[in-house]
A and B are shown apart, each in its own frame.
Chain A
Amino acid sequence: MKLTGPLERVLRVFLADLSARQYGYELMKAAKLPSGTLYPMLARLEAEGLVTSQWEPQPQDAGGRPPRKYYQLTGEGARVARLELAQAFKATRRITHDTGRPATGSAH
């Protein structure tokens, strides 16, 4: 799994509340992603077993709305997501260190 910016944002939203039911539109808003980016990503995560989806009937008082689908991380998904984000964090720290050091060194 290659951790891209959009994917990282989606994983962060999922990890923020593992028990939350994430609907497509709410995920789009929270991760600030357009639908054409979000849904292919969710499909890929689902195919890899990191995310599951479920249909949920809407309450009666919602005026006969159709059932919506929500997404949740699986146990494996939560583990992989934490690992990937931790690695990405480490990698960015290494980059800032690497670029920072020679700059101060060359001043001498």
Chain B
Amino acid sequence: MSSHSRVQDLAKYLILRACRRLPYDIRNERYREWTAELPAILDDPGIRFPGRRVARALLYAADHYRGARKLPQTSSPNTTIQANGGLVAFTGRADFPTVRALIADRAKQAGVPASSAIDLVISVSEIIANTLMYTSSGGLVRVWQAEDEILCQIDDTGYITDPSAWRERLAPEGCHGLWLVRQICDQVDIWTSKAGTTVRLHMRLPGAGGVGADAVPSQQGSEGRPQ
């Protein structure tokens, strides 16, 4: 059984690596789903040789890395936006004050402390500055409140091709804005395709308690990480 657990740990690590290729909001669930299959493979009575079962479990885990790229990189970002939100379009620098005012106003309404509200305004400004830098058209900013967090979503027509944008580490050149935003916000989801890019920022509301500790997948995949 102990050699089993070592194989399981290795397989879980491979699955964790695959899950890092997925958007934040679906990582956790996929990790749980895929690792839950491991005992069934390792104890499969249909395979006679234990070595075969181990090989199959590891192949199963490793192949998710390939599959993760083909999974829809979205949990349909536009469907969960609620009616209590605000929306503003931007096409140039002149629209910055309007966007800032909207975010600040909604953050205040939602009960976000003033310092965090400023952080959120800065984050949104960084994202729309990116949009204006890399695309010729503007975009759309939405803000709304969910149960225990405030969400801002920026949609534009760009397509992020630079892989360093996905990395959580600070890139040597460029993309500092996105890095900064990741440091400030509790969660950053990015969906990008040739049809456009959606960036969604999450900031937990005060009094939301420790929910985020296990509900929000950290980049280390702290939830259910192999010991």
Contacts and interface: CB of A to CB of B under 8 A. Distances in A.
Interface of A: 23-26, 28-29, 34-40, 43-44, 47, 62, 65-69
Interface of B: 32-37, 39-41, 44, 46, 59-61, 63-68, 70-72, 76
A66 B32 contact: yes
A43 to B, nearest CB: 5
A23 B37 contact: yes
A99 to B, nearest CB: 33
B40 A36 contact: no
A36 B36 contact: no
A35 B36 contact: no
Identify whether the interface residues of B are mostly helix, strand, loop, or mixed.
Answer: helix
A2 to B, nearest CB: 14
A36 B65 contact: yes
25 contacts: A24-B34, A25-B40, A25-B41, A25-B44, A25-B60, A26-B40, A34-B59, A34-B63, A34-B67, A35-B61, A35-B64, A36-B63, A36-B64, A36-B70, A38-B67, A39-B34, A39-B67, A40-B70, A43-B72, A62-B39, A66-B32, A66-B35, A68-B33, A68-B37, A69-B33
Contact of A69 (B36, B46, B66, B70): B36
Contacts of A34: 59-60, 63, 67
Given A25-B41, A25-B60, A34-B59, 11 more contacts: A34-B60, A35-B60, A39-B64, A40-B71, A43-B72, A47-B72, A66-B32, A66-B35, A66-B36, A67-B32, A67-B36
B81 to A, nearest CB: 18
A28 B72 contact: no
Contacts of B36: 65-69
B67 A36 contact: yes
Contacts of B34: 24, 35, 39
Contacts of A24: 33-34, 37
Given A34-B63, A36-B63, A25 B72 contact: no
Nearest to A26: B40
A47 B100 CA distance: 35
Contacts of B46: 29
B65 A25 contact: no
B40 A68 contact: yes
B72 A44 contact: yes
Given A25-B60, A28-B60, A40 B67 contact: yes
B40 A23 contact: yes
A101 B76 CA distance: 49
Contacts of B33: 24, 68-69
B166 to A, nearest CB: 19
B71 A35 contact: no
A35 B39 contact: no
Contacts of B71: 39-40, 43
Given A36-B63, A66-B32, A25 B70 contact: no
